[in-house]
Chains A and B, each alone.
Chain A
Amino acid sequence: MVRYLLGRFWQSLVLLLLVSVIGFAVLNLAPGGPLSQFTLTPGMTQADLDRIASQMGLDRPLPVQYIDWLAHLLRGDWGRSYRDGRPVLDIIWEHLVATLLLMGVSTAIAILVGTCIGVLGALRRYSIFDYAATVGAMVALSIPTFWFGLIAIYIFSLRLRWLPAGNMYTIGDGSLGDYAIHLIMPSVVLALVNIAVWSRYMRTATLDVISQDFVRTARAKGLSSRRVLIRHILGNALLPMITLLGLQLPTILGGALVTETVFTWPGMGRLFLDSLGYSDYPVVMGLLMMSAVLVLVGNLAADLTVAFVDPRIRLS
């Protein structure tokens, strides 16, 4: 077990290092690198550019720059925003909570609905419901998230006037109910793709478990079919789904970016787009790195959870 944990931890560290190399490469990808934004300033001469480059340490060899950048990153110094001069990490923390709230609620919805659809599909295999769920999942995977959001706003905010069209809360009203109402539409819109993915995998996982001997034994013992379903089938079918949850993280995070834009949700995604609009290099890079770190940590957490819950992995 300890060996597995250490190995998995080591893998994540190596990946993190690779991720930082890629992030650094993207940073220096633009023709002229981070300097490109200054070249557009009127009256900028090559001498000025050279001076800025040496001030920012951009005239050093790339490997040296990378080591320096990484060292600062590890010490929690992610640079300062070009927009207001505040530390990048502070700005990201402020927006992280909103994104995690949206992702959390949306994932909970996806798990709940996806599990129901998947299990029902597996129990009534090849029924009309199963077929409709399969086709529905494929269509749901094909709908652009932002378009689904726009349609939802059009129907539920503009026509029916049931739900607010955006933002996290009404200004002047910070009650819990107000937050909840604002949360409904973005989290459901973000959940759609994950419901589709989750229900598909849940169906396969349930079918795998249903045909196994211990399920037949449980039935033969005379357990009620409800008890067999919840204790034996669901319990075992949900195990591999924890890993899936980790693997789906990049998709959820990417979807959150788009959803936040449509619903003006004050999270990391909106911050990312705002920063792009201002060419705020340090914040964009910080968010790019932060998103990858979140994914890696999430994957590691998922794998560790499975290892703790499932004795079979601990033994092998």
Chain B
Amino acid sequence: MTQSDFLIPTHARQRWWHSRSVRRFARHRLAMFGLVMIIVLVLACVFGPWLLPFDDLYIDLRGRFSPPFTGYHFFGTDPLGRDIAARLFMAGRISLLVGFAAMVISTVFGTVLGIAAGFFGGRIGTVLMRFVDAMLSFPNIFLLLAMAAFIKPSPIMITLIIAATSWMEIARIVEAEVRSLRERDFVVAARMLGLSNSHIMFRELLPNAIGPIIVAATLTVARAILLEAYVSFLGYGIQPPLPSWGNMLNGAQQYLDSAPWLAIVPGAAITLAVTSFNFIGDGLRDALDARSDML
């Protein structure tokens, strides 16, 4: 190492995968487990349907209720004789996509609202945050079902409705973060340079609040997948014949005694996906947040 190396600001040279956060994340065993599981799940959902010998919509009335491992039906068949493995992977595409899209929408919306509320403060901030409080007063599922019941359900609408009921936490986190950053020197300096409000909000404040946002976004994917499962299970989410992990469980209760795999298989997939995202979120919190001893 030469003298000049010390003079160049290190962040200019450092690659992001060499950063301390990434190393800390990679050492977090549960997070790595979660990451591997998500990659496996995504690969299975993308390529699985091509590798299986059955179409997810192919009805075989002679092969109804086959238990797992009958022939090539690895997870058995459903009341119409459709292959559960094929449906599981197709459903995974929908459920993961809905969860991910709902996360993107609610994160963007919550972040923008949170930054605005935190940056402007005063009356605007109060009104915005009271609105967040009011939204949080409704139990998520009540609000979700009430909206889903009045609107024609399609995957896009379900995604929008899930996003509409899950942006509040992120808004709260971002608002608190921005409020604590607002009076810091770099923001004051930016103001003195005459930079526009939007420049300060999105070029100065946003990058400094990105850690908590990433953590919250990861946990939001987990919650969005769960919410989709809840509404679809209750019959107001993704509509058949389009499979989702939630609506595969929709009719499972009445066959619980004779065909328990109908309930076990999709539920296990939901649990696995949600657990993995929660593990990743936990690892990210430890890696990005200095206050990692909290929990």
Interface of A toward B, CB cutoff 8 Å: 14-15, 18-19, 21-22, 26, 29-31, 36, 134-135, 138-139, 141-147, 150-151, 153-154, 158, 200, 203-204, 250-251, 253-254, 257-258, 261-262, 272-273, 276, 279, 284-285, 287-288, 291-292, 295-296, 299
**A142-B275, A150-B252 known; 20 other A-B pairs, CB under 8 Å?**
A26-B147, A31-B151, A139-B275, A142-B222, A142-B226, A144-B233, A146-B249, A147-B249, A150-B249, A151-B263, A154-B263, A158-B257, A204-B295, A257-B142, A257-B145, A272-B145, A284-B149, A292-B138, A295-B137, A296-B137
For A19, list chain B residues within 8 Å (CB). Answer: 134, 137-138
Which of B15-23, B44-52, B79-87, B266-274 contacts the other chain?
B266-274
For B140, list chain A residues within 8 Å (CB). Answer: 250-251, 254
For B195, list chain A residues within 8 Å (CB). Answer: none
Once A18-B130, A30-B151, A144-B226 are accepted as A-B contacts, the answer to whether A276 and B236 lie under 8 Å apart by CB is yes
A161 to B278, CA, bound (A): 34
Nearest A residue to B276, CB-CB: A142
Residue B253 at the A interface, CB < 8 A? yes
For B141, list chain A residues within 8 Å (CB). Answer: 254, 257-258
Report 20 cross-chain contacts, Cβ distance below 8 Å, ordered by A residue. Answer: A15-B137, A21-B134, A31-B151, A36-B150, A142-B226, A142-B278, A146-B249, A147-B229, A147-B249, A147-B271, A151-B267, A158-B260, A200-B295, A250-B139, A254-B142, A257-B139, A276-B146, A279-B149, A288-B143, A296-B137
A203 to B264, CA, bound (A): 32
Nearest B residue to A22, CB-CB: B134
A291 to B222, CA, bound (A): 24
Q: Report B222-246 residues with CB < 8 Å from chain A CB.
A: 222, 226, 229-230, 233-234, 236
A147 to B264, CA, bound (A): 8
For A272, list chain B residues within 8 Å (CB). Answer: 142, 145
A154 to B274, CA, bound (A): 22
A153 to B256, CA, bound (A): 8
The 6 closest A-B pairs by CB, nearest first: A147-B267, A30-B150, A18-B134, A254-B139, A142-B274, A142-B275
A200 to B264, CA, bound (A): 28
Residue B101 at the A interface, CB < 8 A? no
Interface of B toward A, CB cutoff 8 Å: 30, 130-131, 133-143, 145-147, 149-151, 222, 226, 229-230, 233-234, 236, 249, 252-253, 256-257, 260, 263-264, 267, 270-271, 274-275, 278-279, 282, 294-295
B143 x A26 contact (CB < 8 A): yes
A253 x B222 contact (CB < 8 A): no
A141 to B295, CA, bound (A): 15
B270 x A144 contact (CB < 8 A): yes
For B130, list chain A residues within 8 Å (CB). Answer: 14-15, 18
B229 to chain A, nearest CB (A): 5
B165 to chain A, nearest CB (A): 10
B260 x A154 contact (CB < 8 A): yes
Nearest A residue to B131, CB-CB: A18
B139 x A295 contact (CB < 8 A): yes
Nearest B residue to A26, CB-CB: B146
A29 x B147 contact (CB < 8 A): yes
Nearest B residue to A247, CB-CB: B136
For A288, list chain B residues within 8 Å (CB). Answer: 138, 142-143, 146
B282 x A204 contact (CB < 8 A): no
B139 x A258 contact (CB < 8 A): no
